[in-house]
Amino acid sequence: MSDHFATNLKLACSHYRSISEVCRQLSINRAQFNKYLSGQSRPTAFNLKRIGDFFGVEDYELSLPAEQFARLIGARVSMLAEQPGDPISELFQPLHEHAGNLSRYCGYYFEYSNCMSVPGTILVSLVHLWEERGRFLFERQERQERSSATDQHAEVRCRYLGAAFQLQDRVFLIDYESLTFNEMSQTILIPSFKSRITRLNGLKAGVSSGDRRNPACTRVVWEYLGEEINRINAYRQVKLYRPDDPRIDDDVRERLSVGPLSNGLFEIE
């Protein structure tokens, strides 16, 4: 890598409000990034690609002679400035800048909730929270077996995709159902202040998948499984359970039922 890299990196960063913002969006340690800027250290191939993707340039272009790179990055920035922005992305941009770092929460969870579609049952879902280009995304898998007139053991599968934000002392998650595109839900969790994450409490608001599609709110518990798991074995446990099922422990039952919500579930007519 040429000696032009540090100079070019400084120029690319000058198009942003601060070095801290660049580090936050790249999820690169500020002290390490400062070494890149000063020329004391070179990024790994992985980090080099992340930096190039972030600034919209190829890896090798970051090592071009400074004058050539200045013309290149100036033209790229001008092109981006001329393009109309996505109003939804622009709306959420300040939120990204003020949101906290959820890195310690990344990994897999079992989500326990009072099922909105089948009252009196507990739904266990599989959630995966991960970081991508400085943003925190998640996927939630649901599976329910229901009886119907045509199929005695009809199975309903749902796959939710969403984004997570930590604002002040709460974790906010908003998602949509990606298979049918017919609903969205929001979850608010109370973060853990312990060194080791075990279970998180919160509330989830959405709609039941029944014919009436009533808006509903349920208590929810997230149980941390780890950063890497056997997804097949975990997915086998994704289904509906009776509240007295021995696979649902007393702690989860208590967390789902405690408080003013009747049976942990509140429907809005």
CATH number of the domain to which 129 belongs? 2.40.128
Residue 47 domain-assigned? yes
Please tell me whether residues 63 and 113 are part of one structural domain: no
CA 131 to chain centroid: 7
Please tell me whether residues 195 and 152 are part of one structural domain: yes
Given 16, 49, 83, the domain boundary residue is 83
pLDDT tens digits, one per residue of 96-144: 888 999 999 999 999 999 998 888 999 999 999 999 878 899 999 999 8
Please tell me whether residues 21 and 142 are part of one structural domain: no
CATH of the domain at 60: 1.10.260
Split at pLDDT 50, 70, 90, the class of 258 is low
Residue 75: predicted pLDDT: 67
Average pLDDT over residues 71-99: 74
d(CA 145, CA 129) in angstroms, rounded, equals 25
Structural domain for 136, as ranges: 103-267
Residue 88: predicted pLDDT: 84
Please tell me whether residues 195 and 67 are part of one structural domain: no
d(CA 94, CA 111) in angstroms, rounded, equals 29
Tokens of 128: 């995966």
Q: Which bin fits 114, alpha (ψ -120 to 50), beta or left (φ > 0)?
A: beta
pLDDT tens digits, one per residue of 52-70: 888 888 888 899 898 888 8
- Residue 244 confidence (pLDDT) above 80: yes
pLDDT tens digits, one per residue of 157-206: 899 999 999 998 899 999 999 988 889 999 999 988 888 899 999 999 99
Considering only CA atoms, which of 211, 220, 224 is closest in space to residue 259?
A: 220
**pTM higher than 0.85, yes or no?**
no
145: number of CA atoms within 13 Å, CB side?
9
Pairing outcome for strands 154-167 and 170-177: antiparallel
d(CA 204, CA 189) in angstroms, rounded, equals 9
- From residue 13, give the alpha-carbon distance in Å to each of 26, 75, 225: 12, 15, 38
Residue 95: predicted pLDDT: 87
Strand partners, 133: none
Percent over 70 (pLDDT), the chain: 87
- Residue 7 confidence (pLDDT) above 70: yes
Residue 116 domain-assigned? yes
Residue pair 2/63 in contact (Cβ under 8 Å)? The answer is yes
Q: Which residue has the higher pLDDT, 267 or 107?
A: 107
Q: Which residue has the higher pLDDT, 111 or 86?
A: 111
Number of domains in the chain: 2
Please tell me whether residues 44 and 164 are part of one structural domain: no
